[in-house]
Amino acid sequence: MPAILLAGFMCSGKTTLGEALARRLAVRFIDLDDAIERSCGMSVSEIFRLKGEKGFREIEVQMLHRVLNENPDGVIALGGGTPCTPGVMEMLNHMGITVWLEADLDRLIPRLMQGRSVRPLLQGLETEEEMKLFVKDKLALRNPYYSKAGHQFNSSFLENESEIEASVNRFIKTILPEVVR
């Protein structure tokens, strides 16, 4: 099976869905942020603090190449900003099945509010209103990159085990019908 490459905004469900999907397909799951943190011996927040966003993006692209080489047939959860480095989506489309996960805003905002503390780009966003404005601005910049993915998947429903299972079933049925029978 080719690699399955999950793109999408922060908290769109790349890790949650990716882990469950990999388990179902009995293949490896790799979270790019985790791979970066392990390799650098630092959290993503520390890397941003020490090297800035530009430094993080350089490390991110290097690690992406390594992870793709080492896992040509795994499920890989990218970081929210990974596809937005020019040329990356084109490369990913050659390397595997790319899928843009999109969660409805009313599901995404509470997840972002909860996951704020470990995401440097979300620091200082105190209210849901501020978060909503930030997300709308960022999506306007990022959607042109995400939309280069080969497939789109609604990842709104991942809040409990039964939603996750139903989402994995829908993912396999709609995106992998030729690959998984």
Residues that bind ligand S3P (CB under 6 A): 10, 14, 33, 44, 79-81, 119-121
Which lies closer to ligand S3P via its Cβ, residue 7 or residue 175? 7
Q: Please tell me the distance from the alpha carbon of residue 40 to that of residue 43, in angstroms, as a whole number.
A: 8
Tell whether the torsion through CA atoms of 13, 75, 140 and 119 is positive or negative: positive
The neighbouring-strand residues paired with 101 are: 8, 153
Output 117 or 162, the one with its CB closest to ligand S3P.
Answer: 117
Residue 81 C-beta: closest distance to ligand S3P, Å: 3
Least distance to ligand S3P, CB of residue 19, Å: 12
Q: Which is nearer to ligand S3P, 3 or 122 (CB)?
A: 122
- What is the nearest approach in angstroms of ligand S3P to the Cβ of residue 141? 11
3-state helix, strand, coil in the chain (%, to 5): 60, 15, 25
* Contact yes or no for 122/137 (Cβ under 8 A): no
